[in-house]
Structure 1
Amino acid sequence: MELFDILITVVQQQSLNKASQILNISQPALSRKIMKLEEDLGVELFRRKGKRLELTRAGEISYEYALDQQRLERKLQQSLRIFKTSTKPASLVIGASLTTLQSTLPDLITIYTREHPLTDIKALTGKTHEIVPLVKEKKVDIGLVASGIDDPGLVCLPLFDDPLCLVLPASHPYADRTDLSAADLHELPMILFSRGTWYRVLMDEMFHRCSVHPDVKMEIDSFEAIIRLAATCQTATLLPESYLRHVLVETNGLIVRFIPELEQTKRTTSLLYTEEAALEPPIRLFIDLAVKHSSQR
């Protein structure tokens, strides 16, 4: 039993008695091991305060080191596991449009790797019309795009609808309004997506349909830049709901407002794959996890 593992257990239990039970050794034996570690390091690790143990500053440093060693050993064991089996590690190549890359893909990869940490995942990015042929030509295993695709060679699986939302600085004159409509966007100073992007096409169609002409101050194709500039310039913007994490909005001093006309202005985030590809276990697992995650949104 490693002495540093013992140190971690004692610190986390804050009691020699509890730690000795977990480690399945007697309390006197545990005390001797702690004394041996202190002797080896040449420092005092604990102070006794009644029945409680309190770490010294040297003990805190040693504890952090012990945790780092434990994490490194765990990582080593995971990395070596693939050499202890004849099975090749799974791999997955995902093609993602810019929109899904910034809003949806990070969550899906986090969920997938949490359950399957040894899978080698690669991502290629491009516009939606570039992702489609990559999936058909099997240059990527799965496509993730913010639109529905009708192609006889592909399965297009809708995950969720993603409406646009009005995002405002907390001090904006509209911040306290609960009755906002598309008409309120007329001549409103705004930062919008660049012309030609899918979301800007949706916006322009909505503006035309509602006879609205906002005062466009900037045109940008980056979610992050739009968020930061909206906060800095105290200017309104329109963003897809999937990108608007609570922490992101709150950290930048912004608020979100839902407008009926905007809720009808939405795109559908979809998975693209071939029927043949879906027979591969890593791809099937990713599809199933994506569907499950989307149903819980």
Structure 2
Amino acid sequence: MALNVHQLHIFYTVAERGSFSAAAQTLHMTQPAVTMQVQALEERFGTKLLNRTTKRLELTEAGLRLLPQARKAVELMRDTDLMMVQYIEELKGRLQFAASLTIGEYVLPRLIGPFLRKFPDISVDMKVMNTTEIIDAVAHQGLDFGIIEAPCDVPGFDAQPVMDDELLLIAPANHPFASRDQVTLEEAIREPMVLREKGSGTRQIMGDELQRHGVTENELRVVSEFGSTGAVKSAVEAGLGLSLLSVWTIKHELALGLLKPVSIAGVNFRRQFFSVRLQSSLLPMPAVALLNELRELSHE
């Protein structure tokens, strides 16, 4: 009997998710169907792969040996998808995914248009959520993937860089900094600051980089915090303070001359956006195509 790659994928999903029920939800299968496929794989090899206890599943010695090979098979299928999408012009289907606030409101609307013109038979359903909500939605609500603003180290998830980004110090057009291309870190932290809320990807990147330079957030003159980038920009324009925002979010204001970006000498707020998916899932071809297109468009 030939080895069934689909059964390997199911076994890998069960092992990664830790239960037949969780694997069934991930694979959009019934739990009995998942159990039957794993049993068929065990019959093929003539050995138990999983010990089923009342509390949890445990891999047998045979299962532990098979798991890395199953992982390679799943990865090979993903790589094959990525290769073949370059040759398939007529992709169809509904693509469901989520993006964090900055990406969903300011980045993707500019980039999805060219993708949909290239693949007119694909429809996009994008939800805007915070990172925690995205992880939950991908794990439990059937979304294909998410795009977030920081690396993801959640067990069972795979994160891959998909786009580059940079935070810039921004000042209103009438601020003394607006006539300068660069300021020192000491000058910057003396200014009143208007920031995104704690827990946002933007705030995390800012805090991590400042800490690398020996500056804690307690040393900043934070006069206001807002839960949206639009509110932060409006506050900066009104002269409430300076801020650090993604270069993607301020293109319109820069073009109108409402805001001025200023670099901070020796400080680099570059980061990457990441696509996240369950390790045990296979992305549909439209998702592979979109992520590949975003990588290309964002570097043009």
TM-score range, shorter chain: 0.5 to 0.7
Distance change >3 Å, CA 187–CA 281, structure 1 → 2: same
Distance change >3 Å, CA 229–CA 294, structure 1 → 2: same
Distance change >3 Å, CA 172–CA 270, structure 1 → 2: same
The residue that corresponds to 2:33 in the other structure is none
The residue that corresponds to 1:283 in the other structure is 287
Asked if structure 2 preserves the Cα contact closer than 8 Å seen for 1:231 and 1:252, the reply is no
SS at match of 1:165: strand
- List aligned pairs for 1:82-101, cutoff 5 A: 90-101=93-104
Count of residues in Structure 1 that have an aligned counterpart in Structure 2: 208
Distance in 1 between the 2:266 and 2:136 partners?
Answer: 33
TM-superposition CA deviations, 1:183-239 (whole Å, max 9, x none)? 112220221112232322333444452367332221112111211221122632111
Distance in 1 between the 2:186 and 2:163 partners?
Answer: 27
The residue that corresponds to 2:297 in the other structure is 293
1:229 to 230, 235, 239: 235
- List aligned pairs for 1:25-40, cutoff 5 A: none
1:273 maps to 2:286: no
1:248 maps to 2:253: yes
TM-superposition CA deviations, 1:249-291 (whole Å, max 9, x none)? 232521111224541x343201123567555221221122112
Asked if structure 2 preserves the Cα contact closer than 8 Å seen for 1:278 and 1:284, the reply is no
The residue that corresponds to 2:137 in the other structure is 134
Larger radius of gyration between Structure 1 and Structure 2: 1
Asked if structure 2 preserves the Cα contact closer than 8 Å seen for 1:164 and 1:262, the reply is no
How far apart are 1:93 and its partner, in Å? Answer: 0.3
**TM-score of the superposed pair, with normalisation by structure 1:** 0.61
SS at match of 2:183: coil
The residue that corresponds to 2:263 in the other structure is 258
Distance in 2 between the 1:174 and 1:146 partners?
Answer: 28
1:118 maps to 2:121: yes
SS at match of 2:178: coil
Distance in 1 between the 2:155 and 2:283 partners?
Answer: 18
The residue that corresponds to 2:203 in the other structure is 200
Distance in 2 between the 1:88 and 1:202 partners?
Answer: 36
How far apart are 1:125 and its partner, in Å? Answer: 2.5
Asked if structure 2 preserves the Cα contact closer than 8 Å seen for 1:136 and 1:274, the reply is yes
Distance change >3 Å, CA 109–CA 179, structure 1 → 2: closer
How far apart are 1:175 and its partner, in Å? Answer: 1.8
Gaps of 5+ in 2: 1-89
Percent pairwise identity: 24
Distance in 1 between the 2:282 and 2:294 partners?
Answer: 13
Asked if structure 1 preserves the Cα contact closer than 8 Å seen for 2:171 and 2:241, the reply is yes
Aligned Cα root-mean-square deviation (Å): 2.7
Partner AA of 2:286 in structure 1: P
**TM-score of the superposed pair, with normalisation by structure 2:** 0.61
Gaps of 5+ in 1: 1-86
How far apart are 1:170 and its partner, in Å? Answer: 1.9
- List aligned pairs for 1:151-162, cutoff 5 A: 151=154, 153-162=156-165
The residue that corresponds to 2:221 in the other structure is 215
Distance change >3 Å, CA 261–CA 98, structure 1 → 2: farther
Distance change >3 Å, CA 277–CA 204, structure 1 → 2: closer
Distance in 1 between the 2:294 and 2:280 partners?
Answer: 18
Higher relative contact order (CA 8 A, sep 6+): 2
Asked if structure 2 preserves the Cα contact closer than 8 Å seen for 1:182 and 1:210, the reply is no
